[in-house]
Chains A and B, each alone.
Chain A
Amino acid sequence: GAGVSQSPSNKVTEKGKDVELRCDPISGHTALYWYRQSLGQGLEFLIYFQGNSAPDKSGLPSDRFSAERTGGSVSTLTIQRTQQEDSAVYLCASSLKSSSSYNEQFFGPGTRLTVL
């Protein structure tokens, strides 16, 4: 079946503009994660959605970052007033409900964001 998809694959924007990044998780996966991968860095957790529970936003680096998940499926990560340090690859992952164990997280190909 289809894996996790993300769009756009590449996004170039000017400093100060807002951007929206989209993630379509695997059908049936109730958990959804956003990570950020900066050049030469590992993956940095941003936000986690699990079903209808309140999201874990503890990884968001500033209030310019927000995310929502509509209908328990598609998620959008929004970055307002982008800064050059926001340039990175933004990865989305999904997994089955993980209340009692760690289920495998399936990653999308990512969105490469470049802020000029």
Chain B
Amino acid sequence: AQSVTQPDIHITVSEGASLELRCNYSYGATPYLFWYVQSPGQGLQLLLKYFSGDTLVQGIKGFEAEFKRSQSSFNLRKPSVHWSDAAEYFCAVGLMDTGRRALTFGSGTRLQVQP
């Protein structure tokens, strides 16, 4: 079965610093890849997604992610973090070769931003 690994449970960065959140997936074929953000008390919001084509995808709020097939990774990046970015971030994968359209999520990375 496919799996998604987010190795960092908790990350703290200073405001204005760069950010990279790691995501690795385990699946034989290239899945559809997503990053969601969950702010306290809020539902999940889609930041960006990768289906095919350019391996560097741009998302909302200044986030980007790069798909690396050789590393089975889809890491999320932001050049300069803002205090409002403090939230929990989830990487997710979806498979087209099954009838299911539900996503498989990683366990999340909680981002704390220091002033």
When C-beta atoms are compared, the residue in chain B nearest to A58 turns out to be: B100
Residues of B in contact, count (CB < 8 Å): 26
| Complex interface residues of chain A between 17 and 68 (CB less than 8 A to chain B) | 31, 33, 35, 40-45, 48, 50, 56, 58-59
* Cα separation A50 to B98 with both chains bound (whole Å): 14
| B interface residues with partner A (beta carbon < 8 Å) | 4, 6, 32, 36, 41-46, 49, 51, 90, 92, 94, 96, 99-108
A contact residues vs B (CB 8 Å cutoff): 3-4, 31, 33, 35, 40-45, 48, 50, 56, 58-59, 91, 93, 95, 98, 101-102, 104-110
Contacts A35-B105, A43-B105 known; 20 new A-B pairs at CB < 8 A: A3-B43, A42-B4, A50-B101, A56-B99, A56-B100, A59-B102, A91-B44, A95-B101, A101-B51, A102-B49, A102-B94, A102-B96, A102-B101, A104-B46, A104-B49, A105-B103, A107-B36, A107-B43, A108-B43, A109-B42
Cα distance, A93 to B102, chains bound together (Å):
10
Q: Tell me, in angstroms, the Cα distance from A52 to B45 when the chains sit together.
A: 27
Q: How far is the CA of A98 from the CA of B107 in the complex (A)?
A: 25
A40 touches B101 (CB 8 A): no
Whether A42 and B96, one on each chain, are in contact in the complex, defined by CB atoms closer than 8 angstroms, is no
Contacts of A59 in B (CB 8 A): 102
| A106 CA / B100 CA spacing, docked (Å) | 17
Q: A40-B107, A41-B107, A42-B106 are in contact. Are A98 and B101 (CB under 8 A)?
A: yes
Q: Is A109 in contact with B51, judged by CB distance below 8 angstroms?
A: no
- B42 and A45 form a contact (CB under 8 A): no
Q: Find out whether the CB atom of A33 lies under 8 angstroms from the CB atom of B106.
A: no
